[in-house]
Amino acid sequence: MSDLSDFSKTSPQLETVDVETIPTGIEPGSGSSKMKGGDGPTRKKNIPKGLWTKCGKCAELIYDKDLEENLKTCKSCGYHFPIAARARLASLVDEKSFKEMDGGMSSVDILKFTGVASYPSKLERYQNSTGESDAVITGLCKMGPHRVALGIMDFSFLGGSMGSVVGEKLTRLIETGTKKKLPVIIVSTSGGARMYEGMFSLMQMAKTCGALAYHSEARLPYISVLTHPTTAGVMASFASVGDLVIAEPGAMIGFAGPRVIKDTTQAELPPGFQTAEFLLDRGMIDAIVTRNQMRESLINYIDYLSAGLAKPKAKRAPRKKAS
């Protein structure tokens, strides 16, 4: 199970940042790093709020419009800021080709879970702040020459946690991919299983992997893209079983958080522990791809992975109306 409080402390949630209160020294996935200066004295600057964002790695001030145009990556050092699922979607798919599936699906409070706030009130808050019904967008799209079943998670919705809806939407996506003989791509970012749904969240691990097993049996490619952070129940299920597993630079990837591992093993963790670079070095992932090159790389990978598969016929008979 995830400890989302870990991530609120270590992941740079710098969507739109008040320059005066930006914590410094944040490294994506630097494991044991903590935001320095979050509670300390802040630097005063006469800069209008919401126009500039300070890079979490090189401290460069970046004009927000430039940041958006560069897919929320720093031009100076290549740091990857968090990006909303819709913006990522737009960067990956052919224009107007995305047909969303199960867009309105939202969770029910089956356990009547109440912590600091009730689960329905949490859901409502995040639905309002993100404009999404849950933490994943799924649908069919075109990417260059390929039709693809694509799922994109959003960390800004309850830490990208996987509850019944995330699991069900992804499972339906994968099953549709299998039925229509399409490659599946899932872009993950998650703090893990959603604690508000208890065992129902954990069940999604087996469900998504079961659907992927059928997809694999049909000899169809599945590419898993790991972004900062991808952890816990999501990393322990569909995110780690891709035919290809690729990651964004600096992404934190792991099961338990570094603090938990350190406390449990009482051992000093190696530098760069749980970063994409660390895992690539040890053969746990296949490649690191920058956000700006992601679309092109994914198209190339699908080219390669579907080389032996029958190509769809160039011209198709008009589709019969679905009954």
Query: Contact positions toward Zn ion, by CB under 5 A?
Result: 55, 57-58, 60, 74, 76-77, 79
In angstroms, what is the minimal distance from the CB of 62 to Zn ion? 7
Minimum distance between the CB of residue 290 and Zn ion, rounded to whole angstroms? 13
Query: What pairing do the DSSP bridges indicate for beta strands 136-143 and 99-101?
Result: antiparallel
- Residue 80 or 147 with smaller CB distance to Zn ion: 80
Nearer Cβ to Zn ion (167/249): 249
| Shortest distance (Å) from residue 42 CB to Zn ion | 20
Q: Report the first-to-last Cα separation within the chain, whole angstroms.
A: 41
For residue 22, CA distances in Å to 14, 150, 250, 280 come to 8, 34, 20, 30
CA distance linking residue 188 with residue 234, whole number of Å? 8
Could you tell me the smallest distance in angstroms from the CB atom of residue 75 to Zn ion? 8
Closest distance of CB 305 from Zn ion, Å? 33
Residue with Cβ nearer Zn ion (60 or 94)? 60
What is the rounded distance in angstroms from the CA atom of residue 277 to the CA atom of residue 127?
A: 33
Nearer to Zn ion, 55 or 195 (CB): 55
Alpha-carbon torsion (193, 14, 99, 243), positive or negative: negative
Query: Given the complex with Zn ion, which of 59 and 108 has the nearer CB atom?
Result: 59
In the complex with Zn ion, the residue whose CB is nearer, 77 or 90, is 77
CB of 37 to Zn ion, least distance (A): 17
122, 59 contact by CB (below 8 A): no
